[in-house]
A and B are shown apart, each in its own frame.
Chain A
């Protein structure tokens, strides 16, 4: 898969929406740590973040935070 083609797929890669045939070469390419890839991934992550914001905020249960912090303090 040529680089330009891979670069177009980063959003779907981050969403886990690609099949193995498309995701495996990306995984291999990303491992090489090229700076251009990191930039493209960062841009893709912005789009993924934006898509994840299309929801209404909901407060967790009143005890949730207390229980979480208690659990962390015991670690």
Chain B
């Protein structure tokens, strides 16, 4: 999924209620989002429902978000994943559906200042192949745990139960994978900082 070079322009037009701008954004981003949603939900019709939801949300929130300098691609990816995982969790444990939460969604409702900037997403997309190789450097068990967390919405506690491993071990592995990934992204994007 490539960051559209005119994303900022499209966002401004979308904020001004220009539906054709949303159509252009859809053409550029819907296949990537649909791939993500289908990977999480497994069902085409349900994936399309969530795809609908995220574009409608983007449309509804556009007047407020139009002036911020964050990536619309990143916003849609975060929203789509969060919505799909919420559904998946509700399917998995219907009795506790009311307790299903998604921190990213809660955070997005409060503020979007933490979303990446368009140029950061462009830089990441330009180095996509290199970054894919970085993910492949993780061990098989680390990748499995990451995939379950990203695409199936498992929490650390649920992962430990599912994998039949001690919680401490799962936490250590998962957090180490994330540190590895963060440091590699920093290196690839050239954003090493003194806080490392």
Interface positions of A (Cβ within 8 A of B): 7-9, 11-19, 23, 26-27, 30-31, 33, 36-38, 41-61, 64-65, 67-69, 71-73, 75
Tell me how far the C-beta of A22 lies from the nearest C-beta in chain B, rounded to whole angstroms: 8
Q: Contacts A27-B106, A69-B22, A71-B56; is A16 near B82 (CB within 8 Å)?
A: yes
Q: Contacts A8-B179, A11-B178, A53-B1; is A42 near B104 (CB within 8 Å)?
A: no
B68 in contact (CB, < 8 A): no
Q: Contacts A17-B149, A52-B150; is A12 near B78 (CB within 8 Å)?
A: no
B67 in contact (CB, < 8 A): no
Q: Contacts A17-B149, A42-B114, A60-B48; is A47 near B178 (CB within 8 Å)?
A: yes
The interface size of chain B toward A, counting residues with CB under 8 Å, comes to: 69
B144 in contact (CB, < 8 A): no
Q: Are A49 and B77 touching (Cβ within 8 A)?
A: yes
The segment from B4-12, B90-98, B151-159 that touches chain A is B151-159
With A16-B103, A65-B27 given, name 18 new contacts (CB 8 A): A14-B103, A16-B85, A17-B149, A18-B155, A31-B110, A43-B186, A45-B114, A46-B185, A47-B182, A48-B150, A49-B74, A51-B181, A52-B81, A52-B150, A53-B32, A56-B35, A57-B32, A61-B44
Tell me how far the C-beta of B94 lies from the nearest C-beta in chain A, rounded to whole angstroms: 18
Q: Are A15 and B38 touching (Cβ within 8 A)?
A: no
Residue-wise, chain B 74-90 has the 8 Å CB interface mask toward A (1 for contact) of 10011001100100000
B109 in contact (CB, < 8 A): no
- Contact residues in B for A57 (Cβ distance below 8 Å): 1, 31-32, 34-35
B165 in contact (CB, < 8 A): no
Q: Contacts A53-B128, A61-B48, A72-B59; is A27 near B35 (CB within 8 Å)?
A: no
